Structure formats: C-alpha cells, structure tokens
Amino acid sequence: MGRIARYLSPLKVLKYPQPGDTGKEVRDAMLEEFDKFDKHFPDGVFVEPKETKEPKVRFRALSKYCAEHGKDPEDLTDEEREQFIIHE
C-alpha cells in the first residue's frame, strides 16, 4: 500500500479550473491526469478483487472512448462495449 501511495503522491489527478479555461481545456487536462494515474493500474481495476464472478468494466477507458466518438455509453454497440469488459 505504501508503494502505491508513493507512486500516486506526485499526481494532481484533478486540475482546478482557472479563469478563462474552456470546458474542453479542463476536460483534456483531467483526461491527461487520469492517464497518468491509470499507468499505475494497467488492468484498470482500482479496488480489491470482488468475491463474485461479475465482469469488471474499464470505466475510464470507456468514458474516454465515448468522449472521443461523441457517444453515450448506452449508445454503444455490443462490440464497442465488449472492449471495455474484463472477464475473469
């Protein structure tokens, strides 16, 4: 746990908006910080393993994909959605 804290301590994770920032600038800065954070969790899982066999969803990757393609998650095809699901 201490090792993870050392890796994450220099990351800001969220950039507070500055006067004059556009929504796109803030979103892009947040996605950049999320990408830095995600490098420490290559499988996209940020929690302790669950006891159930339910699939896990790589939520940040899903959100980024939707933003880049101008879609909402419920508008994705089954094939698009499948790339963000981790089956164990």
Indicate the burial class of 84 (C-beta count within 10 angstroms; 0-12, 13-18, 19 or more).
buried
DSSP state of 47: S
Asked if 55 and 86 touch (Cβ cutoff 8 Å), the reply is: yes
pTM for the full predicted model: 0.44
pLDDT score recorded for residue 1: 44
Residue 82 pLDDT exceeds 70: yes
- The model's pLDDT over 21-67, given as tens digits with 9 standing for 90+, comes to 777 777 777 788 777 777 777 776 666 666 777 778 888 889 899 99
